[in-house]
Structure 1
Amino acid sequence: MNRPLTRLSCAVHAVVAAVLTLGLFARPAVPVRAAAPEKVVIMVGGITKFVYLPARLAEQLGYFKEEGLDVELQSQPAGVDAETELLAGAVQGVVGFYDHTITLQAKGKEVQAIVVFGHVPGEVVMVAPKAADSIRSMADVKGRTLGVTGLGSSTSFLTQYLAQRAGVPSTQYTLLPVGADNSFIAALKQGRIDAGMTTEPTVSQLLKTGGARVLVDMRNVDGTRAALGGTYPAASLYMQSTWLDKHPQEAAKLARAFVKTLQYLHTHSAEEIAAHMPKDYIGNDKALYVSALKASLPIYTVDGKMPADGPPTVLNVLSGFNPSVQGRHIDLSRTFTNQFVNDVKP
């Protein structure tokens, strides 16, 4: 009678032992987590400039996060410094002027603009009050000191072209790198430069205080065509072609985030846009900031696409004086791509 029970008891104990053993040694299931997005560092050639506003606005509107991107924005006072960071591999992208992609190709570097923010430069040549009577056009800059953000920057390219077009070679004036924003204003006030090229909101600040007057205005299409002979795509997001080949999904997400930002700029008022910007961008004079922003809205593209007549105009400007471009064959089709913005659905 006891033998069957004993056998049953042994069997039960064996099962319990097996369960306990499995419980002790089996690893608990670990929930699978999605891989964290790769960080994309973007250097902006002067992050408070209105020409580069889409960079910070996209961040403020949360469009990078909506795309699942981990984007870090950094700033350098001049586009040429941002370009150096890109080539060194310290950053993955640059928000700067499109013309850098042409000069870099001439140096054997393959870089492409994938989103065009502005179809005009948004740059303005401002003249100091003490020189206002003697400098009435770019033909009058002979013997003068002209301020640019940095030597080799887009402002230096454009300044040299405007002077050359007016008959003044680069040997007959001096370019002085003075940065942007307050440092540019200080250079004018201190008399270190007679005139210089800058953007909004610095332009409106100088006009309000009487610190300078406008000599050449490239904040709209008509003014740009009069100064440069055509549409001039400027502010853009450009990246090394090798990075784009390896990260097409990230590039597509960046394009979507920026195109949504450009569409926001064209469907909202300057007041609504300003409400999203950090307080340190706006400063103490919000009315001035909003006014300057209104003046800047026409510079932005609607869809991030490269204007068809833009690249030839930029190449013509650079070929006029830039030694690294003169006499070189430039394949403009390799300096930009609409591939990523074309895939963005309205």
Structure 2
Amino acid sequence: MYHYRKSLAALMLLAATGAHASEKITIMVGGIEKQIYLPAKLAEQLGYLKETGLEIELLSEPAGVNAETEMLSGAAQGVIGFYDHTIDLQARGKMVESVSQFSQAPGEVILVSKAAAKDIKSPADFRGKTLGVTGLGSSTNFLTQYLAAKAGIKSSEFTTLPVGAGSTFIAAMGQGKIDAGMTTEPTVSRLVSSGGASILVDLRTAKGTEAALGGAYPAACLYMPSAWVNTHKEQVQKLVGAFAKALRYIHSHSAREITEKMPVDYYAANKQQYIDALEGSKAMFTENGLMPEGGPATVLKVLNGFDKAVQGKSINLANTYTTEFVKAAR
């Protein structure tokens, strides 16, 4: 009887482990077609996610804040969005952490419409204007508010309008619904090349980011609830390993070679424009997913500049990210 019970217990443990390992993992991406989140789709296109043996689904939301909501509701196990959400959420009593840091610069740009260019020469001119962001509570909203506050403009002195990215952002600017707005590639190149907008603040490079924000600003990453990470370390390790391979691919291949691996509809009918945009900004990606030194402190400083949820709170930055899985992947 003892041996029967022991064998039965072993079988039950094996079954439970198998079910745990094969459960579907859903990852929400805050706009999967954006170049700032390139490592996610690239890992899928190159077969790296499939190689993990896990059932992984990448779903897209137009704004990072929407993706975050899906994760908090339990509909997704992780988000590919901006690291700053881990700090904002900790301030609100929710523990999440970046397990793979994709970039060390936001990759975002504030564009000014052709019609408003004569009135907006810097963030100090935001007073009374309508500014486009992907979503309220999104990282584009965070950064826009910070740049305004740094220039002495209160959030109550301008209007932020959620307009998404891509075609919806372009339409909002073309129709005069927004005077300026923060967006990413390939939307930036589409608007600038058409003459519909000009660049006001450029956060696509480490140099531009340091000038505007005061240091490296870790942005795109895979963040997940800390409780889920702690109980699914094997799955997290495989995910991080797949994204580390995608990041290494980015640094060892040309922008053209990378573009060839992406879905055709990502080019928006202008492949060369996509290639040029990627060539100019792919240095923002980390080489393997490791958090840039000093980056979390810069992000906390930015959020403290305007985010009432963060101001006055004791934030433990060590709990907002981990390097455990990236170092093991190396």
What is aligned with 1:238? 223
- Tell whether 2:65 aligns with 1:84: no
- Tell whether 2:202 aligns with 1:221: no
Matches within 5 A, 1:196-215: 196-215=181-200
What is aligned with 2:285? 300
Equivalent position to 2:132, from 147, 167, 174 = 147
What is aligned with 1:130? 115
CA distances 1:192-237 after superposition (whole Å, capped 9, x unpaired): 0000000000011111100100000000011001111111000000
Unaligned regions of 5+ residues in structure 2, if any? Answer: 1-13
The one-letter code of the counterpart of 1:213 is S
Unaligned regions of 5+ residues in structure 1, if any? Answer: 1-31
What is aligned with 1:172? 157
- Tell whether 2:90 aligns with 1:105: yes
TM-score, normalised with respect to structure 1: 0.89
TM-score, normalised with respect to structure 2: 0.93
Q: Deviation of residue 296 (structure 1)?
A: 2.2
What is aligned with 2:237? 252
- Tell whether 2:294 aligns with 1:309: yes
The one-letter code of the counterpart of 1:247 is H
The one-letter code of the counterpart of 1:304 is G
Equivalent position to 2:31, from 29, 37, 46 = 46
What is aligned with 2:10? none
Write the distance in 2 (CA, Å) between the matches of 1:251 and 1:166: 41
Q: Deviation of residue 70 (structure 1)?
A: 1.3
What is aligned with 1:15? none
Equivalent position to 1:277, from 252, 262, 284 = 262
- Tell whether 2:319 aligns with 1:334: yes
Write the distance in 1 (CA, Å) between the matches of 2:293 and 2:283: 18
Q: What is the DSSP-based 3-state SS (H/G/I as helix, E as strand, rest coil) of the residue aligned with 2:286?
A: coil
Aligned residues: 314
CA distances 1:139-189 after superposition (whole Å, capped 9, x unpaired): 111110000000000000000000010111111110000000110000110
The one-letter code of the counterpart of 1:246 is T
Write the distance in 1 (CA, Å) between the matches of 2:270 and 2:181: 24
What is aligned with 1:55? 40
Q: Deviation of residue 285 (structure 1)?
A: 1.1
Q: What is the DSSP-based 3-state SS (H/G/I as helix, E as strand, rest coil) of the residue aligned with 2:53?
A: coil
CA distances 1:2-42 after superposition (whole Å, capped 9, x unpaired): xxxxxxxxxxxxxxxxxxxxxxxxxxxxxx99767221100
The one-letter code of the counterpart of 2:110 is V
Write the distance in 2 (CA, Å) between the matches of 1:303 and 1:54: 11
The one-letter code of the counterpart of 2:64 is G
- Tell whether 2:60 aligns with 1:64: no
The one-letter code of the counterpart of 1:111 is V
Equivalent position to 1:291, from 268, 272, 276 = 276
- Tell whether 2:302 aligns with 1:344: no
CA distances 1:57-107 after superposition (whole Å, capped 9, x unpaired): 000000011121211000101111111111110000100000000010011
Percent same amino acid at aligned positions? Answer: 58
Between 334-343 and 283-292, the greater mean CA deviation after superposition:
283-292
Write the distance in 2 (CA, Å) between the matches of 1:135 and 1:296: 25
Write the distance in 1 (CA, Å) between the matches of 2:145 and 2:297: 18
Q: What is the DSSP-based 3-state SS (H/G/I as helix, E as strand, rest coil) of the residue aligned with 1:118?
A: coil
